[in-house]
């Protein structure tokens, strides 16, 4: 699995949530690859996944099929619950 992180240089919430995502992945001992996709350079990928806002995190299978997504810079506990639910059981 891969975690696509759609961000933009001008996006304050993107910068704010980035360390939280890294921390949560580390705390949960997740082996999921995190791939940063910067906009506007990543517009092709953003269009493919219908990205309407940043930050947006899209969890995908290796073939690119979407599993789930989380939009916005939420609380650490929200991201922890999301990743535990959608990634955690694959890493056991």
Point out the catalytic residue in the list 11, 21, 58, 60: 11
Task: Report how many domains make up the chain.
Answer: 1
Q: What is the pLDDT of residues 56-81, one digit of tens each?
A: 999 999 999 999 999 999 899 999 99
In this structure, what token pair is assigned to residue 4? 């696509």
Q: Which CATH number goes with the domain that contains 10?
A: 3.40.30.10
Q: Render pLDDT for 26-62 as a digit per residue (tens, 0 to 9).
A: 888 777 889 999 999 999 999 999 999 999 999 999 9
Q: Dihedral angle at the C-alpha atoms of 35, 40, 43, 47, nearest 10 degrees?
A: 100
Dist. CA 82–CA 63, nearest whole Å: 21
Residue 52: how many other CB atoms lie within 10 Å = 9
* Residue 11 falls in the annotated catalytic set: yes
User: Looking at the chain, how many residues does it have?
Assistant: 92
pTM: 0.89
DSSP 32: P
Host domain of residue 14: 2-91
Determine if the peptide bond prior to 71 is cis (ω within 30°).
no
Nearest C-alpha neighbor of 79 from the set 91, 92, 69: 69
Catalytic residue (one of 4, 8, 14, 73): 14
Residue 14 catalytic?
Answer: yes
């Amino acid at each position: 699995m891969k975690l696509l992180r759609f961000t933009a240089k001008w996006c304050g919430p993107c910068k704010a949530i980035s360390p939280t995502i890294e921390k949560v992945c580390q705390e949960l001992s997740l082996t999921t690859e995190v791939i940063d996709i910067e906009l506007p350079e990543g517009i092709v990928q953003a269009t493919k996944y219908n990205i309407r806002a940043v930050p947006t995190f899209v969890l995908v299978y290796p073939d690119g099929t979407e599993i789930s997504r989380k939009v916005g810079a939420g609380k650490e506990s929200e991201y922890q619950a999301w990743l535990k639910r959608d990634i955690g059981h694959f890493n056991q």
